[in-house]
Amino acid sequence: MSKAKQQITLDEQAIKALKARETRLAKLWKMTVSQRINAMRKGELSLEQCAAWAARYPEQVPLLDGEFEYLAAFTPEVHE
């Protein structure tokens, strides 16, 4: 196979990455708000999933001291 046929264009790479992301997030969007909150608090959601949730539905993500809980949980202030 020639090098030209092996190369993937930037557009093709971006489309492939977006489809993979959609697949990873599909389970998240099927959950109810309470299921997402429970999964987040159990550590069952990835950072990517939490960030996507916060971007799409910021009003649903619990806050802790004015910061998204999934981020605030890792701050030193929370552990004092």
The DSSP annotation for 6-46 comes to H---HHHHHHHHHHHHHHHHHHHHHS-HHHHHHHHHTT-S-
pLDDT digits (tens, 9 = 90+) for 2-44: 555 667 899 999 999 999 999 999 999 999 999 999 999 999 9
| pLDDT given at position 1 | 46
- Could you tell me if residue 9 is inside a domain? no
Query: What's the number of domains the chain is made of?
Result: 1
- Could you tell me if residue 73 is inside a domain? yes
Distance (Å, whole) CA 53 – CA 59: 10
* 76 DSSP 8-state letter: G
For 41-53, what is the mean pLDDT?
A: 96
Distance (Å, whole) CA 1 – CA 41: 49
In terms of pLDDT, which residue wins out, 57 or 79? 57
Distance (Å, whole) CA 25 – CA 64: 24
- Could you tell me if residue 77 is inside a domain? yes
- Could you tell me if residue 36 is inside a domain? yes
Q: Which domain does 61 fall in, by range?
A: 32-80
